[in-house]
């Protein structure tokens, strides 16, 4: 029966795929790589010091010799391609601009990580490594919402009503996401970072248990 064939084939496929994977655990990412990448990203945000929100990524693209950002339909947010003597980024034209910006910043994050690797092993092409991806996500969010700019914003628009009580941050997050041109979820993660949460009495309810 054709139905039997249909259900059988994917099972074989899965089996083969499982067998071809390495059985041992992949090594941890290099010690201190995330810390160094975040530190470099923080320094790079100084390129935006004289700019107004939402910060254009142009200066970062130039810094990393990314010669072109090409919009086209993709099966993912964005991808980084080597285009000697530099790089190009393809970004999914089907997604909203805020998601596109975050996708581009994530790809720049890969180049930030690359500069911080000490072992001489390239991380490029390791899009499937969730640990590297996590660092690039974090770096991408940070590049679009520099600590100094977000602190300034929260100081201005999220004044706590009392020194001890958290204030619901939902309206602030929505307005900050628009002001910085990033998706709401990404801004929730940023504002939920302990640095901001404690300093500005941010109330996030069930959300916000994440790192910056
Ligand atoms: Zn990636």
Whether the Cβ atoms of residue 55 and residue 98 lie closer than 8 Å to each other: no
Shared domain for 131 and 154, answered yes or no, is: no
| pLDDT score of 26 more than 70 | no
pLDDT given at position 9: 27
**Residue 26: CA atoms inside 13 Å, Cβ hemisphere, count?**
9
- Expressed as residue numbers, the domain containing 110 is 33-144
Which of 128, 144, 160 is the last residue in one of the domains? 144
Residue 90 covered by a domain = yes
The closest alpha carbon to 133, from 98, 107, 99, belongs to 107
Q: How far is the CA of 10 from the centre of ligand 1 (A)?
A: 28
Which of 144, 162, 183 is the last residue in one of the domains? 144
Both tokens assigned to 182: 């990033």
In percent, how much of the chain has pLDDT > 70? 77
Over the Cα atoms of the chain, what is R_g?
20
User: What is the spatial distance between Cα 169 and Cα 184, in angstroms, rounded to a whole number?
Assistant: 12
The closest alpha carbon to 199, from 166, 157, 171, 176, belongs to 166
Q: How far is the CA of 104 from the centre of ligand 1 (A)?
A: 10
CATH of the domain at 86: 1.10.10
| pLDDT score of 120 more than 90 | no
Q: How far is the CA of 135 from the centre of ligand 1 (A)?
A: 9
Q: How far is the CA of 165 from the centre of ligand 1 (A)?
A: 38
Q: Look up the pTM and report it.
A: 0.81
Backbone angles phi, psi at 86, to 5 degrees: -140, -135
pLDDT given at position 157: 87
Q: How far is the CA of 131 from the centre of ligand 1 (A)?
A: 10
pLDDT given at position 24: 52
pLDDT given at position 129: 86
| pLDDT score of 82 more than 80 | yes
Residue 22 covered by a domain = no
Which of 144, 162, 184 is the last residue in one of the domains? 144
Give Cβ neighbours of residue 127 (< 8 Å, ≥ 6 apart).
Answer: 79, 133
Q: How far is the CA of 108 from the centre of ligand 1 (A)?
A: 9
Both tokens assigned to 123: 């991380």
Using a 10 angstrom Cβ sphere, with 0-12 exposed, 13-18 middle and 19 or more buried, the burial of residue 173 is buried
User: What is the spatial distance between Cα 70 and Cα 192, in angstroms, rounded to a whole number?
Assistant: 32
Domain count for the chain: 2
Shared domain for 46 and 137, answered yes or no, is: yes
Residue with tokens 């009503």: 161
Q: Cβ–Cβ contacts within 10 Å for residue 130, how many? A: 12
Shared domain for 49 and 118, answered yes or no, is: yes
Q: How far is the CA of 81 from the centre of ligand 1 (A)?
A: 11
Residue 86 covered by a domain = yes
Residue 185 covered by a domain = yes
Shared domain for 120 and 136, answered yes or no, is: yes
Shared domain for 131 and 155, answered yes or no, is: no
Shared domain for 174 and 102, answered yes or no, is: no
Q: How far is the CA of 136 from the centre of ligand 1 (A)?
A: 6
| pLDDT score of 78 more than 70 | yes
Over the range 42-60, which residues count as b (16 or more CB within 10 Å of their CB) and which as e? eebbebbeeeebbbebeeb
Shared domain for 88 and 153, answered yes or no, is: no
Shared domain for 120 and 180, answered yes or no, is: no
Shared domain for 102 and 49, answered yes or no, is: yes
pLDDT given at position 158: 82
Shared domain for 59 and 125, answered yes or no, is: yes
Residues with CB under 5 A from ligand 1 (ion): 127, 133, 136
Per residue in 42-58, pLDDT tens? Answer: 999 999 999 999 999 99
Residue 7 covered by a domain = no
Q: How far is the CA of 76 from the centre of ligand 1 (A)?
A: 10
Per residue in 171-206, pLDDT tens? Answer: 899 999 999 999 999 999 999 888 888 888 887 765
Per residue in 28-41, pLDDT tens? Answer: 788 899 999 999 99
């Amino acid at each position: 029966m054709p139905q039997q064939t249909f259900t059988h084939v994917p099972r074989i496929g899965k089996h083969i795929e499982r067998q071809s994977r390495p059985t041992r655990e992949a090594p941890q990412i290099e010690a201190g790589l995330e810390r160094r990448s975040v530190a470099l990203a923080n320094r790079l945000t100084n390129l935006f010091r004289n700019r107004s929100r939402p910060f254009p990524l142009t200066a970062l693209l130039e810094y990393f010799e990314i010669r072109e950002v090409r919009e086209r339909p993709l099966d993912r947010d964005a991808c980084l391609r080597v285009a000697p003597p530099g790089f190009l980024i393809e970004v999914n034209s089907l997604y909203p601009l805020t998601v596109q910006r975050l996708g581009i910043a994530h790809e720049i994050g890969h180049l930030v990580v690359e500069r911080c690797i000490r072992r001489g092993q390239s991380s490029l092409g390791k899009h499937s490594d969730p640990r590297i991806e996590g660092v690039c996500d974090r770096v991408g969010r940070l590049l679009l919402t520099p600590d100094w700019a977000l602190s300034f914003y929260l100081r201005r628009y999220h004044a706590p009503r009392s020194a001890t009580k958290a204030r619901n941050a939902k309206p602030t997050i929505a307005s900050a996401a628009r002001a910085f041109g990033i998706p709401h979820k990404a801004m929730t993660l940023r504002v939920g970072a302990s640095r901001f949460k404690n300093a500005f009495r941010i109330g996030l309810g069930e959300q916000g248990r994440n790192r910056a």
